[in-house]
Amino acid sequence: MTVLSHPEFDGHELVEFVTDRRSGLVAIIAIHSTVLGPAGGGIRFFPYASEMDAVTDVLRLSKAMTNKMAMGEVPLGGGKSVILGDPRTDKTEALLEAYGDAVEALGGRYICGEDMGMTPDDMEVVARRTDHARGTASGSGDTSPLTAHTVFLSIRAAVRHRLGTGLDGIRVAVQGAGAVGSKLVAKLADAGAAVLVADVDPGAASRTGAEVVGIDEVLAADVDVLAPCAMGGVLSASTIPTIRASIVCGAANNQLATPADAERLRAADVLYVPDYVANIGGVYSAVIDRKGADVARVKADAVEGRVIELLERAEAEGTSPAAAADRRVAEILAAARG
């Protein structure tokens, strides 16, 4: 398979392979679309099993950013980058600076931010070499509070739509008690929901104060809502038949293993709120930064209405919310192209 014939290529505007001999940097920067503005998207630092896995991930993630920006009404396009390696052992200042040079060389066509394996302090190092870095410790800082907020609002909208109730007494299983998951657990508990949580790190799960379940049990937990907040690809042909929740809505990017899984969920009568609609808070937080925290919060609050609108559209059209959202994105891009 080549990159151009890759099933996830989808007309990417640019895919750049970056290496720096001195620091050992190996990275891929993907720009899916700049139709709505410069491409925005985080940096994932991850020890991929193969180069092709890294290519697949960056292509899927950058396309998802195009969708996320369009649905979130953010005047940016979609992009993403991956750094190949283990962030615990391979991350050096020289490597992050070399990555920053590569972003700067794109002249603002791509604006990078934080993703898995990167921290606001790392973004500070990247930002030494480029003006096109966000999510720095001194800028927006931690994006997870606003991400947890928009996921919470999306769950509330989906529960209202599907079950006709508020969150009081609703049972929710959260997969992943990290930065976003732990904050989501707290918000759900405050709203009166009964929350189960699972994490590969049992300490992280128990620190939330919610009831802890095993990582192999959480997807099939007997709950109303399943909230994937760990990694992508969790909704697949093998997991969907085991899901007992009637709603799936969480923070993880690219939860569907394949696009066909959206229809599989609909056929199983599971209401899936597209990840890129629910987790938009992180983008608001990153692009607006701390000085505009109030603006970011107002934009985030609009997510609840947007999810309700989307679910109603999907119902009226007899399609999955994911298909309805993809169609909405296509309309927005077509209108912008003129």
Active site residues: 80
Q: Least distance to ligand NAI from the beta carbon of 246, Å? A: 21
Closest residue (Cβ) to ligand NAI? 178
Q: Read off the tokens for 136.
A: 């720095």
CA distances from 148 to 26, 218, 288 (A): 31, 19, 17
Closest CA to 242 of 173, 186, 182: 173
The binding site for ligand NAI (CB under 6 A) comprises 115-116, 143-144, 147, 175-181, 198-201, 204, 215, 229-231, 251-253, 279, 282
Helix (H), strand (E) at residue 20: strand 14-20
Q: Least distance to ligand NAI from the beta carbon of 145, Å? A: 8
Q: Least distance to ligand NAI from the beta carbon of 323, Å? A: 21
Nearer to ligand NAI, 98 or 300 (CB): 300
Nearer to ligand NAI, 293 or 336 (CB): 293
Nearer to ligand NAI, 98 or 282 (CB): 282
Q: Least distance to ligand NAI from the beta carbon of 85, Å? A: 17
Nearer to ligand NAI, 75 or 202 (CB): 202
CA distances from 289 to 181, 204, 294 (A): 21, 27, 10
Closest CA to 153 of 3, 330, 303: 303
Q: Sheet containing 25-33: give its strands across.
A: 14-20, 25-33, 77-84, 39-46, 110-114
- Cβ-contact 74, 56 below 8 angstroms: no
Q: Least distance to ligand NAI from the beta carbon of 141, Å? A: 11
- Cβ-contact 76, 36 below 8 angstroms: yes
Nearer to ligand NAI, 101 or 124 (CB): 124
Question: For 133, which DSSP code?
Answer: B
| C-alpha to C-alpha distance for 131 and 287, rounded to whole angstroms | 13
